[in-house]
Homo-oligomer: A and B are copies of this chain.
């Protein structure tokens, strides 16, 4: 039986190489491509024709969610998202983008190969604890603009900087921030940005 061909995308070279070593130990799996940036996934996909892509989410160039969308649009391979952070919003957005599976790096290494095989067989693989948490947190209550403003507020700059960056009036920024603070149940924009990010709302 011909082995399942795998593409690995992770920005940490050492982790990427280690995962490749782990998966190559399985006789029915073969790592045929490794990339360290999201925007290199598509080219590697064309060049190596993998059956399954293992994508990290946090990557330079193009994040794993967008990379998933691109891979699915190309239509050839299935996607298994392998990520550090089990933020519920990530799970939802990854599945929306067309991922067949979602595992966090906290899960034991020996389960990864099975996850790959299940994904290749057309099954869905989802961390069960994360799935329930995702349902509890529900979907984001933030409007698009509120999310934009919170994203720009993540680095802690003053309102004027956020306003300039988004080409908005400072007053409007404060309105959006106030709404976001209310919806997140926090008291400062720094807290609001943190909890929104942890919930995957931005």
Contact = CB atoms under 8 A, between A and B. Distances in A.
Contacts of A108: 13-14, 17
Contacts of A190: 155-156, 190
A145 to B, nearest CB: 21
A75 interface: no
Interface stretch (A18-26, A39-47, A135-143): A18-26
A110 B190 CA distance: 40
A188 B109 CA distance: 42
B17 A110 contact: yes
Given A191-B157, A194-B155, A194-B156, A82 B21 contact: no
A187 interface: yes
Interface string A126-142: 00000000000000000
A163 interface: no
A2 interface: no
Contacts of A22: 17-18, 21-22
Nearest to A13: B108
A21 to B, nearest CB: 4
Interface of A: 11-22, 25, 82, 84, 103, 105-110, 112, 155-158, 187-191, 193-194
Closest 7 CB pairs of A and B: A17-B109, A156-B190, A18-B18, A21-B22, A12-B105, A18-B22, A14-B105
